[in-house]
Amino acid sequence: MRGKDTLSNRLTGNYFSCDGEPLGERQSKWLNDDYVKFIRFAQWKIENTGHGVLAFITNRNYIDNITFRGMRQALTSAFDNIYVLDLHGDALGGEVNRGGLSDENVFDITKGVAITIFVRSKGNSRRVTKVAYASLRGPRGGDRVELNGKLVKGGGKDSWLRGNSVATTKWQKVKPEAPYYLFKPENEAARQLYRKIFVGVDELFKFGSSGFVAGYKEIAVDYSETEIIQKFRRLASPEARLSSEDVKAEFELADRDNWTVADARANLRSDKDWQESVVPYLARPFDVRSVLYKDEFLIRPVRKVQRHMLPGHNLSLLVSRQTISSFQHVFASRSVATFNVLDNAGRHGAGPFFPLYTYLEVEGRKAKKGLGLGNSKEHNLSHRIVKDLADNLALTFVATGSGDLRKTFGPEDIFGYVYALLHASAYRADFGAQLKTGFPRVPLAPPTTSFRKLSRLGTALVDLHTGQFSPSTTASFPESGDNVVRKPEFTPHTSKPSLGQVRINEDQYFQDVPLAVWRHQIGRYQVCRQWLKERIGRKLSYEEIVQFGRVIGALSDGLTLIAKIDEELLHRPLWENS
């Protein structure tokens, strides 16, 4: 697995490195999945034998997941021919196929699968690996499937698999290349433009990390500041009044190797100002809640990065490094954020968080409590990239805030421009394949007119998404009742199906909600459905009812802004359509 045959001490293909460098992946544990070990063992046996055939149907993650790039490079060095039949079927992927076909797994499991055949010929000392790929989507039954993006009639996946072979499959040639050695085809013109001309957001920002992880039964987080404070006032009660054993039972907590309920409560009591650590946090897109941001109650606070959001007056970009489904994994925040804003932990799409500003470290009384930070801040953008952009735009860069976009521009103008591009339909369509692997890359040598227009539109979208602007309309909530969320669903109007009611229970609903708003997805989540789904069984407060009405309005206005971004790129494209 790690590049050395423990029996012979010979160097072998290393799944944990690529191009001679360690992967440096936090999720390299995926390389310890059993199916990866089986493939590596079979590869070792065939390499020792000198020739052979390996055929497996396994999890499909290794085809294009960047964590598996070392594995793909090692496999291309060991085999002459590799055939990859991608059967998709990821129940959580969220992809839509041509003609509205549902995509089902060939097994009753949630993980997508693929059939791969590896061939190593005897006596081939000058090995040039040929990789062939085919994509099969659709239902197991039915009368048609989608093969390599084209509809094929005659049966579903099961029927197609029974009636075809390696010889009859229409394969697409793949040329695995650095840095990711993908086992699926990319549009060459788009790939060259995207990889070699565009700039990655991880290059634009000097540093970033993931969101925090609450853990410990998520005791540190709740829906409102009031609920958090009430909870921790009880936890801070003297031991004589409420024992730690009673706290464990009430809050379903348990001591861990390096954390005990008693010690955590003692630390809480010793901090007379602990309520100052109750701050807003972003749980999901448009879903701001409250957290007690104290290290002893969080599994991973990621304080080095997240603390820069605590003084206020900051902005962060949340964007995924890789995705399973089509790219829609981008959002903005003005508060600390959890690891799972855009997707579930352990899946592609969760985590990355880039603050626009960092506050300078100070000591003594001038430092903000518990943060070690002062009031002065600087932008978290690459000075080289900013200089190149300033030269290209012929504008003067101001170190904080925004410029007038006539003579000056600032960090927030750059943020708005990038945010607009990441939401543009043309950008997502033209670079859809590339956006699934690695941090998004964007063109950073635009004409000044395009930069000015896109920056303003993107900034307006950021302000809508982060609650700085009030939406033009808010959804009404006309019926009285118990306000308990039981079964969130959309019911279209009979006379106008493009509008409808978002019901929280049998009697109560939000009125005149556009269907496009109800369906709108950010990351893995259908925003409105997810907001309500995570409150099933909860009685909505007045503030939450107002908040959700504003979310509906903000999504509606946001779709209008995205349409204007698309129109701007249609009139003044920043790249040739691939």
DSSP assignment of 435-452: HTBSS-EE-----HHHHH
Find, among 404, 514, 513, the residue nearest to 459 by Cα: 404
Strand bridging mode 336-337 / 287-292: unpaired
pLDDT at 348: 55
Residue 478's contacts (CB-CB under 8 Å, 6 or more residues apart) are 509, 511
The pTM of this model reads 0.82
Residue 474's contacts (CB-CB under 8 Å, 6 or more residues apart) are 546, 549, 550, 552, 553
Q: Say if residue 179 is preceded by a cis peptide, omega within 30 of 0.
A: yes
- CA–centroid distance for 59 within its chain: 20
Question: Buried b / exposed e across 414-439, counting CB within 10 Å, b at 16+?
Answer: bbbbbbbbbbbebbbebbebbbbbbb
E strand spans, 219-285: 221-222, 278-284
Find, among 108, 130, 107, 129, the residue nearest to 57 by Cα: 107
Distance CA 524, CA 27 (A): 19
Strand bridging mode 352-355 / 357-361: unpaired
CB 203 within 8 A of CB 385: yes
Find, among 213, 134, 96, the residue nearest to 519 by Cα: 96
pLDDT at 171: 97
425: tokens are 């339909």
- CA–centroid distance for 168 within its chain: 37
Q: How far apart are the first and last CA of the chain?
A: 38
Distance CA 13, CA 61 (A): 19
Residue 2's contacts (CB-CB under 8 Å, 6 or more residues apart) are 14, 15, 16, 17
What DSSP character marks residue 322?
A: B
- CA–centroid distance for 223 within its chain: 22
193: tokens are 């433009």
pLDDT at 126: 67
What string of pLDDT tens digits covers the 578 residues of the chain? 555 566 555 656 689 999 888 887 766 678 899 999 999 999 999 999 999 999 999 999 899 888 899 999 999 999 999 999 999 988 765 554 545 678 899 999 988 999 999 999 987 666 789 999 999 999 999 899 999 988 999 899 999 999 999 999 999 999 998 888 999 998 888 888 998 999 999 999 999 998 898 876 789 999 999 999 999 999 999 998 999 999 999 998 899 888 899 999 999 999 999 999 999 999 999 999 999 999 889 988 999 999 999 988 999 999 998 887 789 999 999 999 999 899 875 555 566 899 999 998 876 555 555 566 778 899 999 999 999 999 999 999 999 999 999 999 999 999 999 999 999 999 998 998 899 888 999 999 999 999 999 999 999 999 999 999 999 999 999 999 999 999 999 999 999 999 999 999 999 999 999 999 999 999 989 999 999 999 999 999 999 999 999 999 999 999 999 999 999 998 889 987 43
Radius of gyration of the chain (CA): 26
Q: List beta partners, residue 440.
A: none
